[in-house]
Amino acid sequence: MSLVDNCSAPVRPWHDAGVTVDQFFACHPFARVVFDRVREVVSELGEYELRVGRSQVAFRRARGFAYVWVPGRYLRQPDAEVVLSIPLGRHIDSPRFKEVAHPSPAVWMHHLEVYDPAEIDDEVRGWLAEAATAGGRSVPAARRSAR
């Protein structure tokens, strides 16, 4: 079964190898629009690579600094169709975040449910810039994504 064969299944039976951004978002056109907005903002911050995984699309330098994912792959009735997760070295107390997790001593993962691409605004750009800086200065040449 391919990624787009069954858009109603909560979890798709596919693996990372060869999955494109288009395939990842095939059943989620609004999530794709949000992803494109995030990509536009991230492109202004310098080099990065994209890594399409089973559960998310990651923007990376030496480390990941932004993740776009679709909660509907795992939850039957998610509150939002798409979430932008931003790892930072500090906790930001903002009502914009649905949740802030603390997965390791030096990382707070901030989860932003996105309901309108315009929510990827200057404030979010600042958080992405901070995360991108913490994600490393550059992408190794062998792993650079064509943008």
Query: To the nearest whole percent, how much of the chain has pLDDT over 90?
Result: 73
Question: pTM of the predicted model, to two decimals?
Answer: 0.85
DSSP string for residues in 37-74? HHHHHHHTT---EEEE-SS-EEEESSSEEEEEE-GGGT
Q: What is the pLDDT of residues 53-109, one digit of tens each?
A: 989 999 999 999 999 999 988 888 999 999 999 999 999 999 999 999 999 999 999
Q: What are the domain boundaries of the chain?
A: 21-136
Count CB-CB contacts under 10 A for residue 10.
Answer: 11
For residue 42, give the amino acid letter: V
